[in-house]
Structure formats: structure tokens, C-alpha cells
Structure 1
Amino acid sequence: MEFVNFVPVLQYSVEELVTQKSKLCDSARVTTSDIINRAALLHDAIDKVKESLLLKTKRFMDSELKKMEFHEGELKTWISSLSSQNDVSNQNVVEVKDESIGKIQNGDRKLSFARLQQLCEIQHISLYFKSGEIVNESFVNSLFGSVQNFSITPPSPIRKNRRDTFPTIGVELKTKFKCKGTTGNIHAIAPISENEAWICCGWGSKEMVLYNLDGEVLVSVTLDIPIDHIVSTRSGNVLVSSYNGNSIWCLDEQLTATKFATLSFVPRGMAVTDSNEIYVCGVERNRRHLIAKFAADGTLLSDITISPHDPHRIGVISEDKLCFSDYSKNNQRQLVIMDSSCKVLHTYNGKNEPNIELENPFYPLGTQVDQYGNIIVADWNNDRVHLLDTSGHFSQFLVKSGCGIERPCSLGLDRDGKLWVGNATGHVHVFSYCNWLT
């Protein structure tokens, strides 16, 4: 191996590093501005609450003082009236200054006594301020917000272009965890580094969560669309497809969501190539099924009709060969390998290969292609993950039934060759897969 051949790759890496330095400075400036704006917003909100509470306090005080002043006046009137009555106690006529009091006194002595009793019952009214949450660092941070960061580390171009050796492939469970707050199926996993992955759990969910290998939540984002699939790009962005609408959305490093592309079809699975082109499979309203290719900026480059095949998830094997999990007519499930001219090169259904025994019909969901063109398929019905070669022929079961994975439905490969498997009960299993440098 001539290491001098890596000079263009190293030069490219220098250019990327310079770009990333600039992007980091830009994001730090934006973050600083957001922090200052958040502080001003909280100050304004607190001032508004303060003024509202002060006004409420004054209104209550004025209202109660008015009642008390009326009560005080009535007491004084009675005192004056009764004092006058005492002064003329030897006379038969009661002299009063207040006509209402006179009516009570001259009418019913029981009513007079009841009213006097009421006047002597003084209601004690007080005001106090009931403070909100205890003001500590934890509370203030939850109210104010926090600075969060994540990094996307694409595989090295040296790794991706090196196919002079072929590693021994075999899986070993490294870790497992359960997604927070839900037991729904995990239908999208997009690793962005060697220990972090975006995950969407629960069909119909609009939330995507960044987990690390320990199952800790690092970042969560809620979009305006129900999420179908997630992939990460070499530029550090994350693309999101939705079955509810004809568009793909892009989440940048600031977690700002913008529309990546407006489509003529409903998108499903996506795959990103080494050159940062994006393949998307989906279906138009007239039931035309297709695979479209987009540039990194969202420009449509081409599309091919693949009907009657009904693609769900897609993988790119090479420049002129694709694979996809197919929900074809008659409710049959299979994996299809197709060239760029729509010619079907091979189909895999779990039965048309020797030495395979499946208890249930093959049901492919999540699909991934490794750097060597091998195809990895999650089999929902059989609690297995299949490994196929570049032609689509069976190689081995990476995950077998009985290993604790129930109905695997999503797959992701990270930069260190670990295989992330999500299942129908919200659990994620992470396996070693292969060492790219062997």
C-alpha cells in the first residue's frame, strides 16, 4: 500500500477541518445571541408577571379597605345611636340618626341583636406572597434553557474507500437500553458518531431523540410532522422523511428544521452515499412507486419507476446497484436488488436460499448496506437480522431468534462498525459488527 495515495484525502480533510472551524465559530455566535435573547425574554416575562401581581395586590387591598371603611362607619353609627338611646333612656321615643338602624331598633329586637352580633365579628384579612419554585441552579437552568451540543462524525474517506481487505463479520452484544417514556416500535435509527444516534420511537411520533450508548437522552427535537425515517449526511445535517406530506425536512447543527425538498410523492426510506447524494423511495398519489436521487442541496437529480414493487427502506450497494425492502402485491415481502435501469438482479425472501429455516414468512423492515456492499436486513416476523452478500444471497444470521430482540424493525451502522438494532418494544441493542481497519 502506497501511503502517498492518501494525500488527496488528507488535503480534503484539511479543507473540511477549516470549514468546521468556521461553522463552530458561527454556531457559537448564534448560541451566544440566543442566550442573550432568552435572558431578555425572561426579564420581560418576569416584569409582566410582577406588574400583574402588584396590580392584583393593589386591587384586592383597595376593595377590602373599602369594605372595612363601610364596616367602620356602620359601627360608629350604631355606637352613636346606642349612646344617644342611653342618654334618653327615661324617654319612650328612641332618637336615631340612621334611618335603617332606627327601623331595625323600632321593629324587631332579635334583628337588632343579630345585626350587632354581625358587626362585632371582624374578618381578619391578610396578604402574603407565595413564592414559586425554589430558585436554585437546577430550576433556573430548566427555566432558562441549556447549551447542548452533538457531533456528527462520518466514516473516514480512507475507511470508506479501502476494500483491499475484508473483515471477519460477526456480532457481539455491546449494550442495550430502552427508549424513554414509550413502548412503541423504533422505526428510525440514525447513528451520527461512534456512540450517539438519533432515534424515533412510536409510530406517529413527531419527536426524535439523540441517545448515547448508555441510553442517556442528550437532545430531543419535536417537529411538525410524524416521522418515518431519519438519516445523517456527511455535511453534519440530519434528514427526516414523513408519511404525512410530500417533503423531506433537514435538521442542521443548530437543531433548526427547514424544508430540504418538496416532492411529488410521499417519501419513505432514505440512504446517503459517500458523495452525499440522497436516495429516497416512496409512492405517488396515483400509486406510482419510485426511487429518486437528490443532490446534497435538495435538487432532484433523477427518479426511476419501480412499480409494482412497493419499497419501504432502501440501501445503496454501489453506483449502479440498489436494494430495498419490498411490500409487493399479494402481501408478499421480499428484498429486491435492482440496477440503475430498473432491472431486478435478485430477490431474497428467506426461502429461495439453501440452509435457511424460517418459522414464519420473511418480513423485511430496516435495511442497511455496509462499506463492502453487504446487505443487512431486519426480519420482523422471525426475530432475526439477516446478512446478505452484495448479490443478495444469504451469508448468515447476525441476530437469531432467542437473543432477546422481539420483532426487529430498524437498523443503523455507526462509524466504528457497530450495528444498532431497534425493535417493536422500544428497546435498542447495539452489537459489534466488524472492524473497518482489519
Structure 2
Amino acid sequence: MDPRRSAQDVLLCDLCETDPVQNYCELCHTDLCSNCVSKHLSDYSKRHNVVSYFNRKFTPKHAKCLKHTEKDCELYCEECDVPVCTSCLVSGKHKSHDVSDILGKLSSKKQRLQKDLYELENKIYPRYEEMASNAQKGKAETETNYLNLSTAADQHGEILQRQITAFINRRKSDIKEKKNKHLAVLQKHTDEITHKIAEIKRVILKLKNILDSNDISLTFTYRSRNDEFNELPSETKVTMPRLSTPTIKTEKLDEMFGTLSSLSLTTVKPMLVEPRLAGTINTGFDRQGSVSCLNEEQVWTCGNNKIMKLLNLQGKLLASIQTKSGNEPFNIAVTRAGDLVYTDYNDKTVNLVKNNQIETMIRLDGWRPRSICSTSADDLLIIMTSDDERKSIVARYSGYTKKQSIQSDDQGRPLYSSENYPKNISENRNLDVCVADFNANAVVVVNQSGKLRFRYTGHPSNTKKSFHPAGIATDSQGHILTADWDSHRIHILDQDGQFLRYIQNRHFHHPNGLCVDTRDNLFVSEFDTAKVKKIRYR
């Protein structure tokens, strides 16, 4: 059913406020039902022109100027962002300001209202409905799960017979208490969503009334709340208690009956309905390479010369480092200690920048380093290609010492393509090693020991373009984000390789390097424009 045609949206008569609108007085700007027309016309102190509501003409009802009360606000001050009258232009604070015709401004304002209305009805509101439905399902599943726990407690009680009946009752009481706490958390979440849904409905109705009204003041007093509603409420993930299998002993009833684990609550911030472009950094390079977050306000970047730059979100240069060899850095990363590391493909070295001094940590023989990342254990994961470009491996280094090589799957087949094409690397929070292999058209994920977990080769529905993953990053929820070079968008996967969503191409052109800061803000470097874009997606 079209929400615009729901009963709650029926316009009511301005006089009786009970019957639907059928007529309209164009001179008084009054909505009328058929029964109230004669009453309205009986006021002979005013002129009237009552027509069918659907044949009404738009006649602007200008707001009165607050400073010059006898004047209508027929102009709009662009600098102050408020309606003004002609007298305001020659006196007071609006003198010499840029102004425009208010009806032209009204059109652009109403277009913004239409955009808000569309986003609320078609994107934000459905997500809240979905969350409300999931919360209800969660409550039903919780009831079932706790019923299963109670049943298990009864089965244990049958084993121990009547002498532990009292203990069983105490255990069931614990289960009930945890269930009540669990349901209380879910009910609170449901109430919050229901409240937000009610607010969204009111805003939707308000927007429709404004759009159907010719009262200009309503349009200019409206303030969008879409950004507020776009921030979906945090969901609380509750880990179900577990009833352990009892050990039959006569000494302790607790051991005989098994234990009930505690209720675990985890707050998970959902992804935004629509990702937002939160900032753009001009790096000053001709072409942009990789990007790595130093903190939430500063990023290291490198491009098509020998300089690596530390920039803030406004693009201000905070520090710059020239490579030791004078070659272009192939890839950069920031360690747990906040130091910069970079790979030098031509020089076959991995280098550490500490206190503005460059130290060569690793010098390779027969191999060339490509991309690099710092792990949660403060190791370095490095993708290397052999000099003859026939092999590619991932090597793990602890300081100067090589600890691990990852090259083949269980059948001895190469995990990574050998050609001289981009390969980027990141460690997930579950310690998986994730590689975006451009030429293999795949994201290759192995566990900590190097065993293949899965390959992601793009969303099955995307059959028109090849999947060419460039940069790769992971966030605090274990999501894998990879830049799809040709499609100009970001793929977001869960830690098991299931596609979750896109961040679409209206934000990017040839996305290349990726990094995520501690607040899950995504930074994307664009190869052609040499810009780094900050994206809020959570």
C-alpha cells in the first residue's frame, strides 16, 4: 500500500478539523470541507474565492518580516539563510548581502524536502521496520531458547531424582531471571525502535503537510532530521547462557547438575542506511597510492614520487619523509607503536621510519616486497613476488626475523597470482590474513596458520564487469572491505566471505588504497584524482 494514501495522511478541514478537505479559499488560504463552505462565506469582512481543492492555484503566502511587520518577506538572504523584506536590504545586518527571489529559493527548499521525504519513506523507515521485525523474532527465539534450557534442567533433574529437586528449582529460577534480563534488554531495544518509528511517521506526515501547503513559513521553519534518523540505534547482542553437561558426583551438587553461564551483552553499531562522504583530502600527488591511518585525524599517504606525506583531514602537510633510496615507495603501513613502515620494490627492502630516521629492517634476496600491514601482535605481513615473477608468497616477520611463509593450499596449488599486478594485505580481528589479488580477481583469505578459508570473487549478480580488488582493509566488527577498481565501489564482506553491501561509485573514481581508523571511518585513496576520501559507513 502506498503510504501517501494511508488514512493518517488525509487532509482535514481547517474549520471543523474533522471532515476531509474538498474545497479551498484561494484568497484566505483556507482548506474547507463541503459543510463548512457556507460558514466560511458568511464572513463578509473578507473577500473569498472558494474553488475545488484539486483545482486550486498556488498563491504564495509570504511570511511577515519580524523587523518590518508591515512588509512581506519576498526575498531571501543567501548569506544569513533567512527570508527578508525589501526594507531589510537597505538597513540592518542584511545590507549589501547577496539576495535571491524567495519563490526561486522556495523551489530549491521544497526539492530538499522531497529528497528528505523520499529517503525517510524508502530507505530509513524500511530499515527501522526491519529492525523492529528482527527484534520481535529475537524475542520469540529467546523464549524458545530459554524453554530449551528449562527442559535441559528438567532432564538433569530426572537423572539426579528427587533429592535434588530443590536444586533444580533454584537453577530454573536462575534461568528465569536471566531470561527476564534478556527480554528486558530486547524490550528496551524494541521500545527505542518503536519510538523512532513513531517520530519518523510524524516527520513524514509533517513533510507531506508542508509540501501540500502554500504556507511559506512552514517550509522555512522545517529543519531536516534525516541525518539523525540515518544513525540507526545501536543493537545489543546478547550471548545466550549455556547449561553445561553435569558431571555425576556425590560431593557437590553444582558439579552434579552443571553450571549456567552468565548473560553476555555486546553492543553492535549497525551500518548506516546510506554511507556518507565525510571529507576529502587533496594529497598533492599526481597519482595516489596507498593510505594508512595514524589516528582519527591524520593519515600517511604516498603517490608517484619518493615523498611520503602525513596529512590532517584538512589536507595540511604535517610531516614528509623521502625514501632512503630515492625510489617511489610501493606501499606503506603504520605499526602499533605509530611508526611508519614502507616497502621499496626496486631496492628489495622493508624500511622503518622512527623519529624521522629511516632504518632498513629487511633486505630480500630473490624476492621483491609489495604490500605490507602491521598485525595485532605487532608483526609485519608482507606480500612478496619472486624476481622472475613466477611465485608470490605472504611472509610474516617479527622484527627482523621471518616466522612464516604462506604460499600454497592443501593441494599444493598457489594461493596467489604471480604476475606483477597489485596485491594488498590486511589482518582481520580473528587473525585471518586477507589479500586483495587484482589479477586473480579474488580476495583470498587464510587463517592464522595459512590454511585457505575462502576466496571471494565478487557478487554473483555482477556479471557485466570483472572484479578487480585493489586496496583492502578490515574493521572492528571483522568486516572485510575491498576496493573494486573497475566498478568504482567498495565491497563489504563479513569475516566468512559473505557479501553484505556496496559503498557505491558516486563517491569514488578508481578507488585504490584503503584504511579504517579506530572509529571505523573508511579512508579511500583515488588513483587518478590523488584524493583521499573519508567515508562514514557505520
The TM-score normalised by the length of structure 2 is: 0.46
The aligned counterpart of 1:245 is 347
The aligned counterpart of 1:63 is none
**For 1:319 and 1:289, how far apart are their aligned partners in 2?**
24
How big is each residue's C-alpha offset from its partner over 1:190-241, in whole Å with a ceiling of 9 and x where there is no partner? 1101110010122xx2111111100111111111232111111112211101
Q: How much has 1:431 moved relative to structure 2?
A: 1.4
Which amino acid counterpart does residue 294 of structure 2 have in structure 1?
I
Q: Is the 8 A contact 1:266 1:283 kept in 2?
A: yes
Structure-to-structure mapping, 1:277-426, within 5 angstroms? 277-286=379-388, 287-295=390-398, 297-306=399-408, 307=414, 309-310=416-417, 312-318=423-429, 321-327=432-438, 331-352=439-460, 356-357=461-462, 359-397=464-502, 399-403=503-507, 405-424=508-527, 425-426=529-530
The aligned counterpart of 1:64 is none
How big is each residue's C-alpha offset from its partner over 1:108-162, in whole Å with a ceiling of 9 and x where there is no partner? xxxxxxxxxxxxxxxxxxxxxxxxxxxxxxxxxxxxxxxxxxxxxxxxxxxxxx9
How big is each residue's C-alpha offset from its partner over 1:9-65, in whole Å with a ceiling of 9 and x where there is no partner? xxxxxxxxxxxxxxxxxxxxxxxxxxxxxxxxxxxxxxxxxxxxxxxxxxxxxxxxx
Q: How much has 1:357 moved relative to structure 2?
A: 3.3
**For 1:165 and 1:271, how far apart are their aligned partners in 2?**
28
Structure-to-structure mapping, 1:77-96, within 5 angstroms? none
Percent of pairs identical after alignment?
23
1:200 aligns with 2:308: no
How big is each residue's C-alpha offset from its partner over 1:343-380, in whole Å with a ceiling of 9 and x where there is no partner? 4322112144xxx4364211101000112221000111
User: CA, structure 1 residues 289+163, in 2 after alignment: closer, same or farther (shift >3 Å)?
Assistant: farther
User: CA, structure 1 residues 177+163, in 2 after alignment: closer, same or farther (shift >3 Å)?
Assistant: farther
Which amino acid counterpart does residue 176 of structure 1 have in structure 2?
T
1:179 aligns with 2:289: no
**For 2:463 and 2:320, how far apart are their aligned partners in 1?**
38
User: CA, structure 1 residues 299+342, in 2 after alignment: closer, same or farther (shift >3 Å)?
Assistant: closer
Structure-to-structure mapping, 1:196-275, within 5 angstroms? 196-202=298-304, 205-223=305-323, 224=325, 225-252=327-354, 254-264=355-365, 265-275=367-377
**For 2:335 and 2:464, how far apart are their aligned partners in 1?**
37
**For 1:402 and 1:432, how far apart are their aligned partners in 2?**
14
Q: How much has 1:293 moved relative to structure 2?
A: 0.7
Partner SS state of residue 428, structure 2: strand
Which amino acid counterpart does residue 333 of structure 1 have in structure 2?
N
The aligned counterpart of 2:128 is none
Q: How much has 1:282 moved relative to structure 2?
A: 1.3
User: CA, structure 1 residues 360+276, in 2 after alignment: closer, same or farther (shift >3 Å)?
Assistant: same
Greater C-alpha radius of gyration: 1
Q: How much has 1:168 moved relative to structure 2?
A: 1.0
Q: What are structure 1's unaligned runs of at least 5 residues?
A: 1-161
The TM-score normalised by the length of structure 1 is: 0.56
**For 1:341 and 1:359, how far apart are their aligned partners in 2?**
36
Partner SS state of residue 477, structure 2: coil
Q: How much has 1:385 moved relative to structure 2?
A: 0.7
Q: How many pairs align?
A: 259
Which amino acid counterpart does residue 326 of structure 1 have in structure 2?
D
Which amino acid counterpart does residue 317 of structure 1 have in structure 2?
N
Q: How much has 1:285 moved relative to structure 2?
A: 2.2
Bigger relative contact order (CA 8 A; separation at least 6): 1
Which amino acid counterpart does residue 376 of structure 2 have in structure 1?
D
**For 2:516 and 2:332, how far apart are their aligned partners in 1?**
13
User: CA, structure 1 residues 332+293, in 2 after alignment: closer, same or farther (shift >3 Å)?
Assistant: closer
How big is each residue's C-alpha offset from its partner over 1:218-277, in whole Å with a ceiling of 9 and x where there is no partner? 11111123211111111221110122132100001x211110222342111112122211
Partner SS state of residue 268, structure 2: coil
User: CA, structure 1 residues 416+168, in 2 after alignment: closer, same or farther (shift >3 Å)?
Assistant: same
How big is each residue's C-alpha offset from its partner over 1:417-438, in whole Å with a ceiling of 9 and x where there is no partner? 211111122111101243xxxx
Q: Is the 8 A contact 2:472 2:481 kept in 1?
A: yes
Q: How much has 1:320 moved relative to structure 2?
A: 5.2
User: CA, structure 1 residues 266+319, in 2 after alignment: closer, same or farther (shift >3 Å)?
Assistant: farther
RMSD, aligned CA: 2.1
**For 2:463 and 2:372, how far apart are their aligned partners in 1?**
28
Q: In terms of mean alpha carbon deviation, does 273-282 or 162-171 score higher?
A: 162-171
**For 1:387 and 1:308, how far apart are their aligned partners in 2?**
22
The aligned counterpart of 2:74 is none
Q: Is the 8 A contact 2:476 2:520 kept in 1?
A: no
Which amino acid counterpart does residue 219 of structure 1 have in structure 2?
A
User: CA, structure 1 residues 418+163, in 2 after alignment: closer, same or farther (shift >3 Å)?
Assistant: farther
**For 1:427 and 1:358, how far apart are their aligned partners in 2?**
29
**For 2:481 and 2:505, how far apart are their aligned partners in 1?**
16
Which amino acid counterpart does residue 388 of structure 1 have in structure 2?
L
Which amino acid counterpart does residue 454 of structure 2 have in structure 1?
H
**For 1:219 and 1:340, how far apart are their aligned partners in 2?**
35
Which amino acid counterpart does residue 309 of structure 1 have in structure 2?
Y
Q: How much has 1:342 moved relative to structure 2?
A: 4.1
Q: In terms of mean alpha carbon deviation, does 214-223 or 341-350 score higher?
A: 341-350
Q: Is the 8 A contact 2:332 2:340 kept in 1?
A: yes
